[in-house]
Amino acid sequence: MDYLDQLESEAIHILREVAGQFERPALLFSGGKDSITLVHLALKAFRPGKFPFPLLHIDTGHNFQEALDFRDELANRIGERLIVRYVEDTIRIKKLKEPTGRNATRNGLQTFTLLDTIEEFEFDACIGGARRDEEKARAKERVFSVRDEFGSWDPKRQRPELWNLYNGRIHKGENVRVFPISNWTELDVWNYIQRENIALPSLYFAHERELLVRDGKLMATAGGVIKPEADDQLVTRTVRFRTVGDISCTAASESEAGTLDAVIAEIQATRISERGETRMDDQLSEAAMEDRKKGGYF
């Protein structure tokens, strides 16, 4: 077995552990490369049967249309159930105050919608595509990450995971976030995508796009989510997106990488993580991701 076979085998084992240990799991699926990889792994783990869980997307209303179209197409193609819940509905029903200002984003409000959806469907496990190389808070999180009845993550409650043994025992009201590709790197994901010939949204490859230069970052103008201000500059550049999140907090990277080989070569040469380079929400403070996780974030 080469290292990709080992990573694949581990991820499939974890997915089957979820199916065996939990009554109502769900797979968080946004149409991004990591969740698309998870769906591919789930196909290997459970076909020719159906998935023992639905696909779930928490839609901020500010997602890239290319990713949403790909999400719907893939769910239809494989014949699996897709549940979509909208942050806009949560804002209206709970009368939440939507962030305003220069770099306002709904990203943090996803937590409210996610927790409501977990309660609505009584999900006891949510499978996500987070990886330890992305960000330091994720680096110290276990594969089976226990959340309390409020969805909060306590780093001091991490369970040992010796010899690939995973403890999914929880009390009523608690749930577990599960990360089958936690030990993968960005480069591993791309090498696996190439090996398995996995289709991706066009956003991940070089294309020409109108962008707004703000605080040194190239931000998409799609959908009018980001409103230009006096010191912003509108430009047209050839870019790609290393990570596909909310338009309001996801920056593009200048790139000529239009093929898988070119993308892989580009990642091999980089010295900064995808979230470190392109995710504005992680740069609000040193502990931005950890604080969101403690509040119930993915």
Domain boundaries along the sequence of the chain: 3-189+287-294, 203-282
In whole angstroms, what is the distance from residue 219 CA to residue 235 CA?
A: 10
pTM equals 0.91
pLDDT per residue of the chain (298 residues) written in tens, 0 to 9: 699 999 999 999 999 999 999 999 999 999 999 999 999 999 999 999 999 999 999 999 999 999 999 999 999 999 999 999 999 999 999 888 888 777 778 878 888 999 999 999 999 999 999 898 877 677 778 999 999 888 888 888 888 888 889 999 999 889 999 999 999 999 999 999 999 999 999 999 999 999 999 888 899 887 778 888 888 899 999 999 998 888 888 889 999 999 999 999 999 998 887 766 665 655 555 555 555 555 656 6
Q: For the domain covering 3-189+287-294, report its CATH number.
A: 3.40.50.620
What φ, ψ does residue 254 adopt, rounded to 5°?
-65, 130
